[in-house]
Chain A
């Protein structure tokens, strides 16, 4: 049994026929070619699979694709501008050494994007708490936290 599932993906309407047991993560990666979202644990522990669902961060490994019907999904591929220019967060992650192997980066950027959407001037502890569902083994988090605060300042100052 398959279900026709339609949602907006990075601003574009998509429609896929999916079995009800399949996760949003697998449908994004396997059916829709969006491999930027990563699979790290399939257990909602590492955050590598995070996407925005109607603007809220979500572990796509633990969410059924059919539940996304009628909603808005944003993946890391949707964070830069249509002309390819990077978001303030993406630039700041690079400038502050917030990227090493890059495998946690998509999920980190998603979490950080959601944070700045609800809190344009987060304190350091707020940033750390907001990112605590995204595991990074490379950076020690310091560059990532600096990047988020620096991007927040840049966005606030316009």
Chain B
């Protein structure tokens, strides 16, 4: 369990990014380019009686308008096909797209979009999660029993799906437990909010369309275009230029089909570029609102005997990933703890608000914020140190997970203890300061992925990967892995990525899966090249391939450095005959066996492959006069298996912590009573700035997992956002003497709680 030193590492795409020559989607231009603008519904819930585009069409400069009447009459959706590309019968949330306009300038397109007249009949909004599932609540999708979809998703009222994790008899165990703590936590929504608003350009050549888009998932976007426009995938090419951040906000296929349809009608290339408000309101990347009820039974010595939970999760108006994520939420409600009796349940709830979906470590930050505060409350009730309570219950090798998954060797306990040591747990502090701690876990996601590796005649290498780069630098780890296999230097490889016509299939920059899965693909391709190189060298050196090695750019006989041939020479020779080119994919590691017999709503999320374990400790200061919380210091200890690229991994943790601080304190979607967003702008939706961000220390506890990615690596990017809000919450509770059970824990909320305490309420 070594702590790694950071080597100097320069991103391959770094030079273009610091010189302004890196091209992002909105930077691209092409002859004949038209500009698009969207017409959004603007109301939370209404029946559409008519859409009148005549005035918009009459505006000089308008070339084309597309509505649902112009695209195939199909419903689509991840689990239930509950939506169409454009709203035609009803508007179910304010950001729903009704039409898209193409014009010679963006200003004309926006003016025309505003001229489209909507004849709407208001319908009752559905916002509150409890009210939405109460009998007699207005339905978001009255006809959804008739929609196509996954048979595992029942269609009842506004309940989008239901998932349980069941182990033992939690009810009986709670009834018999010496101490039981029951609590409710409520989380507001929040946003992925990449600094780059998305842009999409579509251009038809013959019957093929090329789409340049700010997507984290180009292959999924390609499938989405093909399926919604009724065309073969082979006719759709998706390219992602440099991507200005994603954080889940650019997952899912989104506006690519809309722009492609508009470009086809306009017979010219069309670009859609979102402004900040539109980016805020784009669907499927709103972090879920939640209502979390927890109950835990413990013995006097702190042994956890049982946990039950019920979590309501906002789905918004249409379904994306939530059923799967809700199943994860039911697992996260247990936490990375040894608990013999478990009964957790999560419900996905349709509302007339922005559709929710994957945002960095989806569902885990909110659930962990609640669970880790709950752990501190249990510790207080028992009079046990919160660190000690966690130490006694945290999962160690050989334990059973929530669905009797056998837990392998891991660094959970070490990370817990390291984070506490790093922050100086238990040291004396001024009265307005305190330290809080939170721990958590997050799975890796094995899946298919492809890459091609080739060696050029000059001895350089090219990696053509299907993987997507969203700024994480995960594709930058691929040359490191290829270079290790081939005895070359990472700098000798160039990368081609983000073009669905070039690389092998990949699930995209989601689930922290890139190095995990595409790393395997690259190692597989490089290993084939290695064998070819060794065979070529064996012939030249008149040696047995088994006696040769590739190192420092040469093939040589082991132990006889003088008998060596440069790899470049072998590559040049190969270019005169059979080329040195190989593709790779490899078999994804298996998902662990589980016993989930009593669980309902199983969608595969109940089994955690190669989990990451982590603990963060924070020191905060609470200003009692204003309620303002300042995070003064963060210590993070993460176990993500082997760390292949330390500076890249550290960058993920640092960024994830600061994103978590924002979710904890200053971000948070504010809704009007009818479910529209009050703060869809960066003035009112506050990100953490450089002046707010605290000094952070990061350590990696390295425990390679044999059933993970190359060299036992696991995902890195999502875990750091998970424990931060919970750690801050626990620090606030200790410093303020009152616990904030609403997320975000804004100054107003802290101040109000402090005022209640002082007033004896």
- B is bound to A: yes
Whether B276 pairs with A139 at a CB distance below 8 angstroms is no
| Chain A residues with CB under 8 A of B19 | 36, 76-77, 79-80, 86, 90
With most chain A CB atoms within 10 A of its CB, the pick from B16, B17, B247 is: B17
Other-chain residue from B20, B244, B693 in contact with A141 (beta carbon distance below 8 A): B693
Task: Identify which of B205-213, B304-312, B559-567, B652-660 touches chain A.
Answer: B652-660
Bound together, the chains give a CA A34 to CA B243 distance in angstroms of 18
Whether B689 pairs with A132 at a CB distance below 8 angstroms is yes
Whether B18 pairs with A41 at a CB distance below 8 angstroms is no
Flag B1-14 by CB within 8 Å of A: 1 or 0 each: 00000001111011
Residue of B nearest to A40 (CB): B195
Give residues 651-700 of B contacting A (CB, 8 Å).
651, 654-659, 681-683, 687, 689-693, 695-696
A134 within 8 A of B: yes
CB A85 to nearest CB in B, in angstroms, measures: 11
Give residues 21-49 of B contacting A (CB, 8 Å).
21-24, 26-27
A9 within 8 A of B: no
| Chain A residues with CB under 8 A of B690 | 127-129, 131-132, 134, 136, 141, 144-145
| Chain B residues with CB under 8 A of A105 | 17-18
Whether A140 pairs with B696 at a CB distance below 8 angstroms is yes
Bound together, the chains give a CA A138 to CA B360 distance in angstroms of 12
Residue of A nearest to B653 (CB): A140
Bound together, the chains give a CA A104 to CA B695 distance in angstroms of 20
Bound together, the chains give a CA A137 to CA B23 distance in angstroms of 19
Whether B275 pairs with A102 at a CB distance below 8 angstroms is no
Whether B22 pairs with A42 at a CB distance below 8 angstroms is no
Contact A41 to B245, CB < 8 A, known contacts A76-B20, A99-B18, A142-B693? no
Residue of A nearest to B192 (CB): A137
Whether B276 pairs with A40 at a CB distance below 8 angstroms is yes
Whether A103 pairs with B8 at a CB distance below 8 angstroms is no
| Chain A residues with CB under 8 A of B647 | 97
B193 within 8 A of A: yes
Whether B194 pairs with A137 at a CB distance below 8 angstroms is yes
Give residues 239-290 of B contacting A (CB, 8 Å).
242-247, 275-276
| Chain B residues with CB under 8 A of A86 | 15, 18-19
Other-chain residue from A40, A101, A128 in contact with B471 (beta carbon distance below 8 A): A101
Other-chain residue from B16, B27, B275, B651 in contact with A100 (beta carbon distance below 8 A): B651
Size of the A side of the interface (Cβ < 8 Å), in residues, is: 53
Flag A116-150 by CB within 8 Å of B: 1 or 0 each: 00000000010111011111111111111100000
A157 within 8 A of B: no
Residue of B nearest to A87 (CB): B18
B709 within 8 A of A: no
Whether A43 pairs with B682 at a CB distance below 8 angstroms is yes
Other-chain residue from B27, B473, B658 in contact with A140 (beta carbon distance below 8 A): B658
CB A123 to nearest CB in B, in angstroms, measures: 13
Flag A22-45 by CB within 8 Å of B: 1 or 0 each: 000000010000111111111101
Whether A77 pairs with B21 at a CB distance below 8 angstroms is yes
Give residues 74-101 of A contacting B (CB, 8 Å).
75-77, 79-80, 86, 90, 93-95, 97, 99-101
Contact A138 to B471, CB < 8 A, known contacts A37-B20, A46-B195, A103-B244? yes
Other-chain residue from A37, A43, A132 in contact with B683 (beta carbon distance below 8 A): A43
Whether B10 pairs with A94 at a CB distance below 8 angstroms is yes
Bound together, the chains give a CA A145 to CA B683 distance in angstroms of 23
Other-chain residue from A35, A95, A102, A109 in contact with B10 (beta carbon distance below 8 A): A95
| Chain A residues with CB under 8 A of B27 | 29, 35
Residue of A nearest to B681 (CB): A43
Bound together, the chains give a CA A93 to CA B20 distance in angstroms of 13
Whether B196 pairs with A40 at a CB distance below 8 angstroms is yes
Whether B18 pairs with A137 at a CB distance below 8 angstroms is no
Contact A104 to B682, CB < 8 A, known contacts A99-B14, A99-B18? no
Whether A42 pairs with B275 at a CB distance below 8 angstroms is yes
Residue of A nearest to B662 (CB): A137
Flag B163-197 by CB within 8 Å of A: 1 or 0 each: 00000000000000000000000000000011111
Residue of B nearest to A79 (CB): B19
Whether A48 pairs with B195 at a CB distance below 8 angstroms is yes
| Chain A residues with CB under 8 A of B498 | none
Other-chain residue from A37, A38, A42, A143 in contact with B651 (beta carbon distance below 8 A): A143
Other-chain residue from B16, B24, B193, B657 in contact with A137 (beta carbon distance below 8 A): B193
Bound together, the chains give a CA A142 to CA B631 distance in angstroms of 14
B472 within 8 A of A: yes
A57 within 8 A of B: no
Whether A104 pairs with B195 at a CB distance below 8 angstroms is yes
Whether B691 pairs with A36 at a CB distance below 8 angstroms is no
Other-chain residue from B16, B193, B651, B658 in contact with A97 (beta carbon distance below 8 A): B651
Whether B655 pairs with A139 at a CB distance below 8 angstroms is yes
Whether B193 pairs with A41 at a CB distance below 8 angstroms is no
Whether A103 pairs with B654 at a CB distance below 8 angstroms is no
Residue of A nearest to B196 (CB): A103
Whether B11 pairs with A140 at a CB distance below 8 angstroms is no
CB B502 to nearest CB in A, in angstroms, measures: 21
CB B655 to nearest CB in A, in angstroms, measures: 5
CB B2 to nearest CB in A, in angstroms, measures: 21
B293 within 8 A of A: no
Whether B196 pairs with A128 at a CB distance below 8 angstroms is no
Whether A106 pairs with B11 at a CB distance below 8 angstroms is no
CB B471 to nearest CB in A, in angstroms, measures: 3
Flag B620-658 by CB within 8 Å of A: 1 or 0 each: 000000000000000000000000000110110011111
Bound together, the chains give a CA A137 to CA B21 distance in angstroms of 21
6 closest Cβ contacts across the A-B interface? A36-B20, A101-B471, A103-B244, A102-B17, A140-B654, A76-B20
| Given A94-B10, A137-B194, A137-B195, 17 extra CB contacts under 8 A | A39-B26, A43-B682, A45-B681, A45-B682, A76-B20, A86-B19, A97-B647, A100-B245, A100-B651, A101-B471, A102-B14, A103-B194, A105-B18, A106-B20, A128-B691, A140-B693, A143-B654
Interface pairs (7), CB distance under 8 Å: A43-B683, A80-B19, A103-B195, A128-B690, A132-B691, A135-B682, A136-B195
Where the two chains meet, the residues of A that have a C-beta atom closer than 8 Å to any C-beta of B are: 29, 34-43, 45-46, 48, 75-77, 79-80, 86, 90, 93-95, 97, 99-106, 109, 125, 127-129, 131-145
